[in-house]
Amino acid sequence: MKQYKVYVTRMIPQKGIDLLESVADVTVNPYDAPLPGNELLREMKAGGYDGVLGLLTDRIDGEFFDACQSLKGYANYAVGYDNIDVPEATRRGIPVSNTPGVLTDATAECAWALLFATARRVVEADRVMRSGVWEGWGPLQFIGGDIRGKTLGIVGAGRIGTATALMSRGFGMKVLYTSSSNRRNKVLDAELNAELVPFEELLERSDFVSIHTPLTPGTRHLFDSAAFSRMKKTAYLINTARGPVIREDDLVRALKSGEIAGAGLDVFENEPAMAPGLAGLDNVIVLPHVGSATHSSRNGMAQLAARNLIAMLKGDRPETCLNPELFE
C-alpha cells in the first residue's frame, strides 16, 4: 500500500493517472459523468483521501472540506476555478491549484474555429448540403460576414485572450481589448498596435467580440440585453470562456430579432442545458465545451494537475497554486 490515497472525480487522460499512481493509491470515479454532490460527499467521508483531483463540475466548498478531513490538497483539472471556495480552502490551510497555460493555444484556436464558422455560416451550409435538397450554386446563398480587415474585440486580455488576438495578424484586423485592472497589454500593444478601450466602446466598434474573461461576480451576465443593444447588427459574439458571462435568454432574443448577426458558443450558462430556443437558431453555433479538447492540451492538463497534487501531498507548493500565501 502506498503512502497516500487519492480520488479522481472523473476519468482523465492516462498520463495523469500514471503520475498519481507513482506515489499514491488512486481511485477514479468509474462513470463517465460527474458524481452528484451528495454521492461525492459520501465518497469523501468514506474514503479518507489525502488528495483529490477534480473538475469544474465539482462544487468544492466548506461542506466538501468537512467531508474530507484528511485532505492535503485539491487539484482542479481546469483553468477556471469558480467552482472552488478558495478563501475557505485558505482559511483551512488547504492548498488548491488549477491548470493554466497548457490549454491556451487550443482554446484560442477553438475561438477562431467558432469565429470562422459563424461568420461564414459553415454549419448551416453543411446541414443543407447533407439534407440532399441543395439544387446548385446561387449568388444569394449563405452570404456571411467578412473577416479580413474587420475589428476584433477581446474581452479579457489574459493568456487566452492574448493568444486569440495574436492569431488575427494574418487577417489584418484591428484589435481592441478590455482590462479589468485597466492595465495595458504590452504584447498586444507592441505586436498589433491594439487599443485598450472601455467595455462599452469595444461593443460599439467591434465586428467580432470574443470573450476570455474569468467568471467573477463582476462578469456574471456581463453580456445582457443592454450589452447586445450596443453591438453592431452585423457583429458576432464568440464565447470560449465561461457560460454565465452571458445572460443566455437575452442572447436568444438578440439573435432572433437580428440585434446581432450571430454567435458561436462553447460554454453555456447552465451546462449542459441551453436556454430555450437557442438550439433552433441558424445564426448560432453551439459546441459541447471542447475548447481544450486536443491531445496535447488534455494530456498537459492531466499531467499538470497530477504534478500539482503530488506536490501538495508532499507539503510542497504546487506549480500553479491558487492560494500561494499558504507557502509564504
β-pair type (174-178, 151-155):
parallel
For residue 293, the SS3 value is coil
Does the active-site annotation cover 130?
A: no
Lookup result for grid cell 471542447 = 290
CA angle 260/263/266 to nearest 5° reads 155
Q: Which residues pair with 75 in a beta bridge?
A: 53, 97
Does the active-site annotation cover 295?
A: no
CA angle 184/266/188 to nearest 5° reads 20
Contact 219, 245 (CB under 8 A): yes
Contact 71, 65 (CB under 8 A): yes
279 backbone dihedrals φ, ψ, rounded to 5°: -65, -25
**Which of these is catalytic: 120, 159, 230, 289?**
289
**Which of these is catalytic: 63, 109, 271, 319?**
271
How far apart CA 52 and CA 40 sit, in angstroms, is 11
**Which of these is catalytic: 242, 247, 298, 307?**
242
How far apart CA 284 and CA 300 sit, in angstroms, is 30
Residue 129: other Cβ atoms inside 10 A: 10
Does the active-site annotation cover 221?
A: no
Orientation of helix 104-119 relative to helix 122-131, angle to 10°: 60
Beta strands (DSSP E) in 130-179 are 151-155, 174-178
257 backbone dihedrals φ, ψ, rounded to 5°: -85, -10
Q: Name the residues annotated as catalytic.
A: 242, 271, 289
